[in-house]
Amino acid sequence: MMLARPYCAVVVLLLLAGVSRTGEGNSNPGFMARITKKGLEYVQQYVVTTLKEQLSTIRLPDLSGHSKIDLIGWVSYDFHSLKIHRFVLQNWNLNLLPELGIGVFLSNSYMSVGGDWKVNKAFITLDGSFELKANGISISLSLNLDKDQSGRPTASVTECSNSIGHISIHLSGSLSWILNLFHEIIENNIKMVLEEKVCDMVTEFTTSYLELYLRTLPVTTMIDEVASLDYRLVGAPQVTSEGLDIPFKGEFFSQSHPSHVPFEAPSMMLPPQHDRMIYLAVSQYMLNTAIWVYHHAGCMKVVIQNEDLARLYPNMEVELEVSLESEPLLTLTPGNVTLSPVIDIRGLALLPSSSDQRTLFQLRVNTNVSIAIGVNSNRIVGSVTIGSELKFEVKQSNLGNINKKLMESIFSYYTIKTIYSSLNAKLQEGFPLPLPRETSLNSVELQIHKNLLFVGAYFD
């Protein structure tokens, strides 16, 4: 009988209640996202399209007033049911203002607004419809990016100004010529109101739409019953002359054992690449937090029972308990991902008289495992490629000489059959990258640098 029993088969389903993970002194990111200028320009196009859709649903206030007209005298007028028919936003200019934010400047935009008018003079009421065109609209605004308490990015408009070049109004309806007599007054009035309104609209859009969109960024992601991934921002997004660098916690944690990894994230330096729209950097630290969590959940423990063992020790039941002597270190060197586990193998005799076990011998096995890394629809995935030979050493034996050769062959067999294949299954699931709703990547390029995986891509 051959049996390898993973210890992690049953894990308590976690309470999803947010585990308080305060008191983290170190705020170095374990994961960074860089959106380059090219990426921001792409995002901007998307924002413009959405902004246009949003603007067409905006309601403008009614405009009313009095005016004195030659020959006729005072009339009161009322423009109502105003609706934006067309808003053409053009000549966008994005300015990266390092340490300040992002400046957006639009010039030569125009809009058309339609609606109804009504004029009262004594007992007479005239009405009709109108079409208004505003040309030469320029808008200048500054966006500030930050993070909120929950670690999500926020965007706010810190400054907005705009001006409108020229407004012309075309009135139709009964006796509209009367109104045309004072269209200049109306045009100036409307221009003032619109100038006030444009920045309100843009600010409103930013706080509602953009904020909601940014809220779709996952801040914690559950990987499986054992591990979750903390993708909260550890700092505000940094504007640089080349784009935007966004620092994420990038740390695996266990919700059932909410203790902290005993090592800290070192500071992170991204390679100076800016050709693609987005770069994502996964640190060696982040990958090692995953190993730490799975190791501490007891997932890296296997029990081997084998008929050869039974033959070797006929009067007792013996099993091999395979675990890790310490967390295996994963190292990223240019071009290579290597896992270097130090494996502890205990030969245990199961005593028939009690539930106790007696340690017969203890072996230490060293090996290096190469892992191939890839990106598969927004997930980082991997697979074991080569394992170096297994180096055995006897740590302790209560049996005198032990049959090392046999142990080696039993263990090597299991390494390939069980351990590598369950490791592969886990690696193939991989883990997700933090991307907001409806964002996917294409033309993905993956590089392995010292201490980090660097993924460059275009937005889809």
CB of 419 to ligand NAG, least distance (A): 15
CB of 340 to ligand NAG, least distance (A): 6
Q: How wide is the angle at C-alpha 55 spanned by C-alphas 51 and 57, nearest 5°?
A: 130
Q: Which of 23, 334 has the CB closer to ligand NAG?
A: 334
Q: Which of 386, 425 has the CB closer to ligand NAG?
A: 386
d(CA 156, CA 211) in angstroms, rounded, equals 8
CB of 155 to ligand NAG, least distance (A): 41
Site residues (vs ligand NAG, CB under 6 A)? 333-336, 340, 366-368, 388, 391
CB of 335 to ligand NAG, least distance (A): 5
CB of 339 to ligand NAG, least distance (A): 10
d(CA 201, CA 337) in angstroms, rounded, equals 50
CB of 290 to ligand NAG, least distance (A): 21
Instruction: Please list the residues that pair with 447 across neighbouring strands.
Output: 454
CB of 422 to ligand NAG, least distance (A): 21
CB of 423 to ligand NAG, least distance (A): 17
Q: How many CA atoms lie within 13 A of 120 on its CB side?
A: 8
CB of 321 to ligand NAG, least distance (A): 21
CB of 344 to ligand NAG, least distance (A): 15
CB of 334 to ligand NAG, least distance (A): 5
Q: Which of 336, 451 has the CB closer to ligand NAG?
A: 336
* Residue 54: φ, ψ to 5°: -65, -40
Helix (H), strand (E), coil (C) string for the chain: CCEEEECCCCCCCCCCCCCCCCCCCCCCCCEEEEEEHHHHHHHHHHHHHHHHHHHCCCECCCEEEEEEECCCEEEEEEEEEEEEEEEECCCEEEEEECCCEEEEEEEEEEEEEEEEEEEEECCEEEEEEEEEEEEEEEEEEEEEEEECCCCCEEEEEEEEEEECCEEEEEEEECCHHHHHCCHHHHHHHHHHHHHHHHHHHHHHHHHHHHHHHHCCCCCEEECCCCCEEECCECCCCEEECCEEEEEECCEEECCCCCCCCCCCCCCCCCCCCCCCCEEEEEEHHHHHHHHHHHHHCCCCCEEEECHHHHHHCCCCEEEEEEEECCCCEEEEECCEEEEECEEEEEEEEECCCCCCEEEEEEEEEECCEEEEEEEECCEEEEEEEEECCCEEEEEEECCCCCCHHHHHHHHHHHHHHHHHHHHHHHHHHCEECCCCCCCCEEEEEEEEECCEEEEEEEEC
Which two tokens mark 339? Answer: 């896992």
